[in-house]
Chains A and B, each alone.
Chain A
Amino acid sequence: MSTLTLPGTTAGTGAAAPRPFALARHSTALAHRGLLKIRRTPEALIDVTLQPVIFLTVFVYVFGGAIAGGDRHAYLQYLLPGVLAQTIAFGSAAIGANLNTDIEKGVFDRFRSLPIPRAAPLVGAVLADVVRYAVVAVVTVGFGSAIGFRFGGSAPAAVAGCLLAIAFALCLSWVSVTIGMLVRSSGAVQGITLLVMFPLSFGSSVFTDPATLPGWLQGFVRVNPLTQLVDTMRALFGGTPVGAHLGWTLLSMAVLLVVFVPLALAAYRRKA
């Protein structure tokens, strides 16, 4: 222990004066924390790195022949945007579990005793996940290209498709965050989130043309926001018009935010 007096802890000086845009600034600082953690433990990215590779391989080479009547190449063009969206949906399960652990460990007590907006730790964590989703996009497109996927549209349209998927993931994250705030153990968070994501990703146009499904299931597939997202991405990747799909996707993103952000914050206040 140094024998110097404590540097500048003159009581009463307090922290710096409050500045505007606190939520944006503090969320960014906390997102930076998330990035530092990813750099420290890159293995946390293994799910989003390997999953698209496994799903592309399994669906193109195992089921692809049967689903697409032998034309695996054509099926890959259909499948890739779907796998991208599906991996993102599953990847969002981690955030709720991580936040749950953070709260259990007491790290959030420190944040909550600081003069920052209550929502900042949650928003920061969601923002840091952009890195995970960017990894998904790069890996999926990279591996897909290696086995024969080709963009049919313009480069900006392809980039827009990936960005839309990432933006959608940020909205969908709030479902996982809400579950993370409501459930007691982080293991349960992961389980429940996957339980939600399963019907969402398989009951959609991710793997097959919904026209082949029974009528009652088609109804669910049509209102499934993931279907709208995947159809929009297919249009952007394939160079065809997006039609109404983009509108529905943006609307479902807005609905996710409007419903789950307040729910997550309310549950956070109660839990903490």
Chain B
Amino acid sequence: MTTPAIEATGLVKRFGATTALDGVDLSAASGTVLGVLGPNGAGKTTAVRILSTLLRPDAGSARVGGLDVVTDARAVRRRIGLTGQYASVDEDLTGTQNLVLIGSLLDLSRRDARTRAAELLEWFDLSDAASRPAKTYSGGMRRRLDLAASLVGRPSVIYLDEPTTGLDPAKREEMWDVVRRLVTDGSTVLLTTQYLEEADALADEVSVIDAGRVIAHDTPTGLKRVVGGQRLTVRPADDADLADVDAVLRGVAGSAGSAQAVVTSPQRGVLSVPVTSDDALARTVTELAARGVAVTELSLHLPSLDEVFFTLTSARSGGAPALPSPPSSPAPTRPVEPALEASR
């Protein structure tokens, strides 16, 4: 594909004194998933609203399927489906009525609109609730109805603004499944999320945005190479053992050949380190046992958004994040702001 399905260049949007977007570039090839990863207030929703023609950018431009979102807004709207952060279905209407309404607004005949509503409701496992008002739906059902509503017009580009926020893990897996199938059918998906895990599970490429700027763009694999594939987190039963834990973690992470074994303390009494080798967990357990350290928590997980930001913003501010974590004075939980300021 030569024309990207979604292409935004230098998007700027201000609300009064607040700059929501400060020159954002985004691009998604047709038939792929672009993950937009960032914390609350980073500008993710503003970017989605511009790309779905709900907002005009103050500067920069955006094209969807080669069509400008400002000058060709009407044509863009025929190609997109939008699922907002909060489910924007009409609570007084039933599932069927919600979807039929969208169908008739998309100029389907009454019969086609009903058929389409029925097949979407069935596909989203909502057939039993089809004739109940949406206000009686659970959170997960509402999300599914909202997503179904955005698919009535068979859009080629679908925006999912934090589609799994507030869903329990099982429902999240279901939603992921849906997204994967949409892409299999040839749609392009732009997905905003606060979870690296979600971007990793779904996205072909990830743009990390913070404070209205893209601070990294890569494949999930590339991103993890930068921020450390997984992190090992340990909480000793006794805070007095933190020094021992620190030493063990440095040993495990360092010997795996990682350039900087940065032990951080995401919470009081907890130490965390990026690890790359497969046997890191086993070795940590062995060494902690050898030192006689009892732990209440020991886990191997993908970095949290905080940790991603810490690493990315530190890298941008030039050089190693010189933050040794002496157990007596744990590093701040979110050293993002100062690092970011330094990078500006």
**Chain A interface (Cβ within 8 Å of chain B)?**
1-2, 4-19, 25-26, 29-30, 32-33, 36-37, 40-41, 105-107, 109-116, 120, 272
Q: Is the CB of A12 within 8 A of B93?
A: no
- In B18-54, the 8 Å CB interface with A consists of 30-31, 49, 52-54
A114 contact set on B, CB distance < 8 A: 77, 102, 105-106, 153
Which residues of B114-173 are within 8 A (CB) of A? Answer: 116, 119-120, 122-125, 133, 149-151, 153-156
* Interface size band for B: 35 or more
Complex interface: chain A residues within 8 A of B49 (CB): 109
- Whether A106 and B154, one on each chain, are in contact in the complex, defined by CB atoms closer than 8 angstroms, is no
Does any Cβ of A come within 8 Å of B79's Cβ?
Answer: yes
**C-alpha spacing A107/B101, complex, angstroms:** 12
- Complex contact B124–A1 (CB within 8 A): yes
Known A-B contacts: A2-B125, A5-B181, A6-B151. Give 12 more (CB < 8 A): A1-B124, A6-B182, A9-B182, A11-B188, A12-B79, A14-B155, A16-B106, A30-B101, A106-B87, A109-B82, A114-B102, A115-B77
Q: Report if B325 contacts A (CB, 8 A).
A: no
Most buried by A among B80, B89, B97, B104: B104
Whether B107 and A1, one on each chain, are in contact in the complex, defined by CB atoms closer than 8 angstroms, is no
> A32 to chain B: which residues have CB within 8 Å?
101, 104
A112 and B54 contact, CB distance less than 8 A: yes
Of all A-B residue pairs in the complex, the 6 with the closest CB atoms, nearest first, are: A11-B186, A106-B88, A15-B153, A11-B156, A115-B77, A7-B119
A2 to B186, CA, bound (A): 19
Chain B contacts with A in 260-274, Cβ cutoff 8 A: none
B108 touches A (CB below 8 Å)? yes
Interface centre among A15, A33, A111 (most CB of B within 10 A): A15
- Closest residue on chain B to residue A108 by CB atoms: B88
Given contacts A1-B174, A11-B188, A14-B156, A6 and B106 within 8 Å (CB-CB): no
Q: Are B54 and A33 in contact (CB under 8 A)?
A: no
> What's the least CB distance linking A111 to chain B, in Å?
7
Minimal Cβ-Cβ distance residue in B for A33: B101
The reply on B90 being an interface residue by CB < 8 A is yes
CB pair A10–B82 under 8 Å, yes or no, is: no
The answer to whether B185 and A5 have CB atoms under 8 Å apart is yes
Verify B185–A10 contact, CB threshold 8 A: yes
A11–B106 contact, CB under 8 A?
no
- A2 proximity list for chain B (CB < 8 A): 122-125
Contact of B92 with A by CB under 8 A: yes
Query: Of all chain A residues, which has the CB nearest B77?
Result: A115
The answer to whether B123 touches A6 (Cβ under 8 A) is yes
Q: Within the assembled complex, what's the spacing in Å between the Cα atoms of A41 and B182?
A: 36
Inter-chain CA distance A9–B187, complex, in Å, is 8
Are A109 and B84 in contact, with the CB atoms below 8 A?
A: yes
Indicate if the CB atoms of B185 and A111 lie closer than 8 Å.
no
**Are A1 and B90 interface neighbours, CB within 8 A?**
no
Taking a contact as CB atoms under 8 Å apart, the answer to whether A37 and B93 are in contact is yes
Q: Which of A11, A15, A106 has the most CB of B within 10 A?
A: A11
Query: Does B248 sit within 8 A of A, measured CB to CB?
Result: no
